[in-house]
Structure 1
Amino acid sequence: MIKSNIGKLIGLIVGFLILCLLIWASVVLGLTKVTTQMVIDSFNQFDGSNEHIIIHDTRIPRALIAAAVGASLAIAGTIMQGLTNNPLASPSLFGINAGASFFVVLGISFFGVTSLYSFTWLAFLGAFASSIIVYILGSMGREGLTPIKITLSGAAMAALFSSLTQGMLTLNERALDQVLFWLAGSVQGRSMDILIAVLPYILIGWLSALIIGKQMNVLTMGEDVAKGLGQKTIVVKLLGAIIVVFLAGSSVAVAGPIGFIGIVIPHISRWIVGKDYRWVIPYSGLLGATLLLMADIGARYLIMPAEVPVGVMTAFIGVPFFIYIARRGINE
């Protein structure tokens, strides 16, 4: 664990440099051979060649989308784990991704929605609805909100929304063709337009998460202690929930439901810098972007010339880690 603030700052700088290296690797690596010089020439001397078109229309948007989605999911998971005091909390496990996906598929199947902006708002609506339902179910009973109850509520809602989504796709072949690969979680074939459409919400989510880091530290001491120190805990929780909806909703709108990043990365961040959310949140963003970029690069080579959806790759990485955390006990 890095204890000094100087060491943590140096770690952030090193992490950012590694992230830049992976973005470069994502642009040059793949089925079509691309060199660094080709990338430079595509900006300075664009000639309309196949390689230059692939760089501009496919590789660069894909790399930036993977970085943005990975960072967003990791930060959303970090905020959720802090708000619920639950080490298993994440947008995928708590049904937020599944709810956002359900609303998108609902819009495609019954309302003929095709625009990027409509996808974004449907994903936000689904993320918000599932968050509210899970919170209400997890708060029922004499003991109120507990880690085990909200985990079970989230798992139940994730299963429900996933079942409803699959049922709609079974009845609507056109919608199935449109969203089957998207539902597996993928950044392949995404255009820069869809990233630009959700970028304002992502940036608001990132900045807001950094701002509430200090308040998250107080909240994790316990709600009674936080109230005793004068914190308006309901305001912090509400802001945290809005951040999660913005980040998870944007991510699902762009790349579909990609799981496990929101579970794995916050634990790695806390292992590196401790429990101070002023550092955990930026570290989670960098590490989340790094993990998804690495997974996406690996997905290109696993069964080349075909590709594995990146959501499958993150599942391979995340499932063993999830089992490890679950075995330690969510009440630890």
Structure 2
Amino acid sequence: MNPTPEQRAVIRQAVEWHQLINDGGLDQNSRREFRSWLQASPSHVHEFARICALEVVLQGSLKKGVPRALPGNVINFDSYACVTRRPPPPQMPTVTLRFNTKKIAVAASVVLAVIVTLFASLVSTDKVIVTQLGHWDKQLLEDGTVVYAGPRTKLRFHFNGDVRSVRLVRGEALFEVAKELGRPFIVSTDAGTVQAVGTEFATADRGDTVVVTVAEGKVIVTATAIRDGMQSMTPVVADQQVVLSPTGASAPAEVNAERELKWIRDWYEYDGERVGDIVAQINLRNDVQVVVDDPQVARLRLNQPLTFKPSQPEDFVRKVNRWYENYPQKTGGQTGAKVLHLERS
């Protein structure tokens, strides 16, 4: 089938780019133009890859020293030349070139797949966020999504024209996803995936489980584990939480998402929790540890508001010690004694 004028134009452009790359003529501006040309249409990528694949096949034949005959539609101008030429060299034994079309097709398809994958990565945006213990991070992505990364978190991003993909390697992260119809936002973990279009949700890797909490909108949670020959897909809406484990996904449970996610935002407002529970959450996220000197205090609940940043455990210790300074039921009855202190782990 004869190519259309549009197809011929793409072929010509692909050949020109291929020649320019082989000649080493790509400067910084040309690289940007080349990436833009590839991104403009899938046909550009496939045509460029096809030319590269054909080149590999032909180079493989030439390396074997096999002469190539001119195609039948090419005129041999030597037969019309009016100049005296040297006598031809002694004829070598005739070698018939037989292409194994099946092998060529396989080789071309492999090369095509590799090249398409390579250039797909060129036209996508990759990013990595890494935090250490005691450090929080907040970043705005190119699509408008806001990411809050908790301590000791690692995230890998791979965005292209079809999907916004995030890999939670470890830790916890909150995503305020910018809405883009037809371009889903997917967070993958070892235990499963979370897919959203425009919403606010968090994923937290707890080692043997992954906790998914939705603050706004709706997500679809797909467990990696297979039950009865199928992967479970669970819809989760605002103020619900699902736990992914090696056995599958739990049923959605009602939670106060705003309070659940404050830890990832590096902000906390005390509201009736036990002191010991707060200390455990602080120590989970910091290398400086809060030590409870009075075991009785760990079981108590504060009866007044308390706000602090989890990244500043010393602020929490100072406020609790001041609040309990004159607490009469301290162990040993020592008024003014501290009930918490800090130690570096």
TM-score range, shorter chain: under 0.3
Hey, which of these two has a bigger chunk of strand by percent? 2
The structure with the larger Rg is 2
Q: Indicate the structure whose relative CO is greater, using CA pairs within 8 Å and at least 6 residues apart.
A: 1
TM-score by length of 2: 0.21
TM-score by length of 1: 0.22
